[in-house]
Structure 1
Amino acid sequence: MARIKKKAAVICCCALLAASLLLGAALATALYFLLLRPHPPRVVATAVDTQLAAFTVLPPALNFSLAVDVTVHNPSHAPFRYGEVVTAVTYRGAAVGRSAAPAGKIPARSTRTVGARVRVDAARVILSRHYMVDIVAGALPFEAKTAVAGKAAALRLFRVSADAEASCSVILYPFRRESSSHCTSTVRVT
């Protein structure tokens, strides 16, 4: 009789241990999916700032710079560390400018605007075979791409890496000293 009670107590104890382990595993899984799992950042190109300091047709002169500001929102409970922010500008497919902003960190559940100003290499633009045609049309088309790459890690166990890019089509109207832009943002989780 004592042996049966002892065996029942051991079975009951093992069942309670198994149930508590299952409950702990379920709680850990829920905690991971609700809190600890890093989420990829949300990236939006918020502003394209163009500055046309000088422009003349004869002799050809162009002094132009632009900046693409990218807003990065980190929804994770872990900080998002990113490398240098690179902005490259092209005119009709030819590279005419590049700049980089230093690496940084976006705290958990916060937003930061990053970007870099690029001074356009006027000589490359003016020497392009498309320059005079575009000047006659009154519009100079540029492409600006800003890339941000980084990762978020919670407890050094759960990691997510993301590469974000904001691509902006910028049209400069030099005679009116105005510009227009259209931007798209993409995030690739790796």
Structure 2
Amino acid sequence: MKRKPVVICCSVLLALIVVLAIVFVALYFTVFRPRSPHVVATVVSTRVSHFNVTPDFPIVLPRLNMSMDVDVTVKNPNYAAFRYGDVVTELTYHGLPVGQSVVLAGEVGARTTQTVGATVVVQADKVVFSPDFIGDVLPKLLDLPDIMLPFQTRTTVAGKAVVLGTFKIRASSAVTCSVSTYPVKQETTADCTSTVNIG
């Protein structure tokens, strides 16, 4: 007779554990399911303070002073803050590294979107002394506004979100942009692709 209350108590406890487990699993795969952050990088402007490819005595070498502003937008769809490390933007010219910027680590709140801006100063000496520079400039010397310099930016973001203090969602994203820059007109067009890795 004394075992019956114990059996009932154990059955209720077991049923409660099963119900809680089902609720927990349901919440995990619906509300708290880990989702990757969405990262978009945009080249918003190019500033050219000096560009000269014609002889300017006593200086006869080409001169270029240029910087690019890149906006990196991170959308966090999770119900937990996404903490990311330093956001690194690298700039290359025909595969040659010619600039880099680093935005310090930060946090994107739960289910919010945040944009961080980065300015990449172009290492002009590496551009003008590149063997590809003459090939880009020479055919357009008679039509300077049409001179186009091709760059590529690569922005990487990596971080994690901790859901319910238990589940860690690690994610990294890389955004690569092919950038066509017209230094005389100070115009820029960009075509970007993004890849995301979870885990």
Q: TM-score, normalised by structure 2?
A: 0.85
* 1:24 aligns to 2:33 (yes or no): no
TM-superposed deviation, 1:156: 3.0
Distance in 2, matches of 1:104 and 1:96, equals: 26
TM-superposed deviation, 1:148: 1.0
For 2:95, the aligned partner's letter is G
Task: Indicate conservation of the 8 Å contact 1:87/1:115, yes or no.
Answer: no
Distance in 2, matches of 1:47 and 1:177, equals: 13
TM-superposed deviation, 1:32: 2.3
Distance in 1, matches of 2:97 and 2:19, equals: 58
Task: Indicate conservation of the 8 Å contact 2:43/2:68, yes or no.
Answer: no
* 1:171 aligns to 2:180 (yes or no): yes
Distance in 2, matches of 1:129 and 1:157, equals: 53
Q: What is the aligned partner in structure 2 of residue 112 from structure 1? A: 114
Aligned pairs for 1:118-157 (under 5 A) are 118-137=120-139, 138-157=147-166
Distance in 1, matches of 2:162 and 2:105, equals: 17
TM-superposed deviation, 1:10: 4.5
Alignment partner of 1:51 out of 28, 47, 54: 47
TM-superposed deviation, 1:76: 0.8
Alignment partner of 2:170 out of 161, 165, 178: 161
Cα deviation, 1:66-90, whole Å, max 9, x if unaligned, reads: 1221210011111111111111100
Percent sequence identity over aligned pairs: 46
Give the 3 Å change call, closer, same or farther, for CA 83–42 of structure 1 in structure 2: same
TM-superposed deviation, 1:65: 0.7
Distance in 2, matches of 1:48 and 1:164, equals: 20
Distance in 2, matches of 1:7 and 1:42, equals: 57
Q: Which runs of 4+ in 1 moved over 6 A?
A: none
Can you give the 5+ residue segments of structure 2 that lack an aligned partner in the other structure? 56-61, 140-146
Secondary structure at the aligned position of 2:31 is classed as helix
* 1:35 aligns to 2:31 (yes or no): yes
When the two chains are superposed, the root-mean-square deviation of aligned CA atoms in Å is: 1.8
Task: Indicate conservation of the 8 Å contact 1:38/1:153, yes or no.
Answer: no
Distance in 1, matches of 2:44 and 2:68, equals: 7
Alignment partner of 1:70 out of 65, 72, 84: 72
Secondary structure at the aligned position of 1:188 is classed as strand
Distance in 1, matches of 2:46 and 2:184, equals: 14
Q: What is the aligned partner in structure 1 of residue 142 from structure 2? A: none
Distance in 2, matches of 1:7 and 1:126, equals: 89
Distance in 1, matches of 2:127 and 2:80, equals: 43
Can you give the 5+ residue segments of structure 1 that lack an aligned partner in the other structure? none
Distance in 1, matches of 2:183 and 2:23, equals: 61
Cα deviation, 1:108-166, whole Å, max 9, x if unaligned, reads: 11000123110101100000111011013421110011111111112331001111111
User: Which is further off, 35-44 or 52-61?
Assistant: 35-44
